[in-house]
Chain A
C-alpha cells in the first residue's frame, strides 16, 4: 500500500475531527430534538428484595407512560433511566452517583430498604437532585430535598394495634426482625399497646437468617399472650407462620403484622397458615374503588406475571404523579422551584385515594386501611381517611429548619 506522508496526515486529520465531533452529533441526535425530562429510577429487580422492587418499576413506568400520553410535562416528554440495584447497597451508591453526575437526571424515585435510602440520600443532597422515597418505613427522615410518600408507623401501626387488641385482648407478645426497621417498629408497637391500656409480655428479635422458630413458639405458649404482633421480614421468616400452624397453634392466638402481605406472603403460604392474620397499609390490591381497580388492571395487563401490587407500587405511582403536579405548578424543572411548588399543598387522587404532601415534614397525608387475610387474599375491613404523619411531625419541621437533612430517631 502506498502510504505517503500527505495522505497519512489527511486521513488522521479526518479521523480526529470525526472522533471529536461524534459526541456532539450523537448528542444532538438523541437529546436535542426532543429534549426530554429525565426521571431516574433505583429499584431492586434481582436478589432477595426483587419481589418488592419489580412492581415498583412497573408502577413508575406506568405513571411516566400516562404523563407522556397526555403530552408530557412543560411540552417535553419524560424519559426513565432505570438501574437494577440488585438488592445490593453498594450498587445503590454507585448508581446514585451515576444518575446525578453522568445522566444528570431531574428527579430520582427509588430506594426500598431504609438502609438503601440512607445510602443514596446524602448523594442526592450533595449533587442537588430532587429525591422521592416511595416506601413505608419507620419514619423520621427530615430533609428538604427528599419527599417520603409511603406510610409511617403513626399511620398504620396506630390503627392496627388497637383494632387487634379489641378483637383479641390486652396482653401482646412482639416478634420482630433484628435490624433498624424491626427494632423501631417494635418500639412503636409497644407504645401503642401501652396507650391502649395493654401490656407487652415480651419482645423477641430475630436475625434475618433464622429459620427454626421452635423455641419461640414454645416461649409464646409459656407466656400465654392474647395477641402476637409481628414485624418479621423476609423469606426465612415466613417459616414462622408455617411452624406456628404445624404446631397446631393457628387460631388459638391471633396474629397482627406490619409486614405480612406487603410482598407475597399470602400467595406463598397455604390458606390454613395465613387466614385471619391482620395487617394495615396505605394500599391493598383488593381495594374496590374505581381508581384502584383500573390501576391494578393496567399493571396486570402490561405485566401479567407481576407480583402482588402493594402499597409499594401504589406509592411509587402516586409519588411520580405528585412530582408531575409539582412540575406543572412550578412551570419549571428547576429543583428549588419544584420543591416550593410541592410544598404549596399539592395533592393527587391516586389508587389509594387522596394523597397530599405535608409542607413541614415532606411526608404525605393519606388514607390507611386495615385488612384481614382470607383464603390467600386480603379482605379490607376498615379504612381511615386523611391520616397525618404525626410521628415525623413530632420531630421534624422543615419550615423552621429548612437546612435539616437528618433522620430523627423518634424517642418513645
Chain B
C-alpha cells in the first residue's frame, strides 16, 4: 500500500515541477507570442542566482524565493528593452534572436563561473511512509505550484493590471486608443514571465545538477507542455503539465526511465493530432 502513496507523490512531484518550469514560458509564449528559446537559460540563471547567493551566506529560502526571481526578472527587463521589443509579431526572427541569446548567456556564465559550480543541499529532509522514504521538498514544490497558480490567476482575473494586460494581448491597437501604453504592458509582462521562470530555476536548484548547459534539459519539455496546453494560459498549462508529468512518472515506474521519456513524446504527438489547438482549445475555452 505504501508504495502506491510513494508513486502518487512521485507523480505529484513530476506534475508540479513541470508546471512551475512552464508557467513563465506560458506567459511569454502564450500571451505575447514570443518564442523564447532562451527559456532554459532563464531557468539556469535562476538556479545560479540561488546557489551563488546561498553559498555566499544568504538564507536558502531567501535565495530561492526572492533573489532568483528578482535577478532573472531584471535580466528579462533588460533583454526586453534591448532585444525583444523589436521582435513583437516577428515569430521566426524572435526564434533566431532568442536562440542566439541562449548561446550568449551560456557563454557568459561559463566564462565567469567555469563549468563547475558547487550546488546547495536540499532543505527540509525526508519522511517515511511505511518502509519507504520520500522528501518534504516534494510536498513543498507541490505547494509552490498551487500558490503560483493562485497568484497568477488572482492577478490576471481580479486586478486592474491583469485586465489591462489581457486587453493589450488581445488587441493592442484598441487598448492604445483607450489610453493604455502597450509598450509598457509588454515590457512588464515579459519581465514577470522571466521572473517566474527564475523562481522555477531557484526551486529546482537544490534537486538538480548545476551547469551552464542545464537549461537544455528543460526547454523542449516546456515548449511541448505550453503548446499542448493551448491558448488558455493557466488551465491549459496546468492540464498539459498534469498529463505529461503523470505519463512520464507512471511510465518510468512501470517500465524504464527510457520509456518514460518516449511515452511523453508519444503522448504529445497524439495530443496535437487529436487536439490541434491544444487541450484548452477544446475543453477550457475562454478560461484563463
Contacts and interface: CB of A to CB of B under 8 A. Distances in A.
Residue among B135, B209, B214, B218 having the largest count of chain A Cβ atoms under 10 Å: B209
A179 B125 CA distance: 33
Contacts of A46: 110
A246 B119 contact: no
A28 interface: no
Contact of B257 (A210, A242, A263): A210
Interface residues of A, number: 47
Interface string A184-218: 00000000000000000000111101111011111
B51 to A, nearest CB: 10
Contact of A48 (B121, B135, B213, B253): B213
Interface in B95-152: 110, 114-122, 124-128, 131-135, 137-138
Given A221-B133, A307-B116, A246 B125 contact: yes
A215 B7 contact: yes
B257 A51 contact: no
Contact of B6 (A50, A218, A252, A268): A218
A242 B206 contact: yes
B197 to A, nearest CB: 16
Interface in B165-180: none
Interface stretch (A126-134, A137-145, A233-241): A233-241
A114 to B, nearest CB: 19
Contacts of A264: 115-116
B213 A242 contact: no
Given A51-B115, A209-B217, A242-B208, A215 B257 contact: yes
B287 to A, nearest CB: 28
Nearest to B131: A221
A206 B217 CA distance: 13
Contacts of B253: 215, 218-219
A239 B258 contact: no
A235 B209 contact: yes
Contact of A211 (B119, B125, B137, B208): B208
Nearest to B216: A209
B156 interface: no
A263 B114 CA distance: 13
B209 A239 contact: yes
A205 B121 contact: no
A216 B210 contact: no
A179 B281 CA distance: 39
A160 B9 CA distance: 34
A335 to B, nearest CB: 35
B131 to A, nearest CB: 8
Interface stretch (A269-277, A279-287, A317-325, A399-407): A269-277
Given A237-B209, A264-B116, A268-B117, A218 B132 contact: yes
Contact of A267 (B116, B125, B216, B218): B116
Nearest to B209: A238
Interface string A359-395: 0000000000000000000000000000000000000
A221 B116 contact: no
A100 B258 CA distance: 39
B225 interface: no
B278 interface: no
Contacts of A48: 115, 211, 213
A221 to B, nearest CB: 5
A178 B13 contact: no
A267 B118 CA distance: 6
Interface in B1-39: 3, 6-7, 9-10, 13-14, 17
A239 B116 contact: no
A51 to B, nearest CB: 4
B208 A218 contact: no
9 contacts: A211-B208, A218-B3, A218-B7, A222-B3, A235-B213, A242-B121, A246-B126, A268-B118, A268-B119
Interface of B: 3, 6-7, 9-10, 13-14, 17, 110, 114-122, 124-128, 131-135, 137-138, 204, 206-211, 213-214, 216-218, 248-249, 252-253, 256-258, 260-261
CB-based closest 6 A-B pairs? A248-B126, A246-B122, A238-B209, A235-B211, A270-B121, A235-B209
Given A204-B256, A268-B119, 7 more contacts: A50-B115, A215-B7, A218-B3, A219-B253, A235-B210, A235-B214, A248-B127
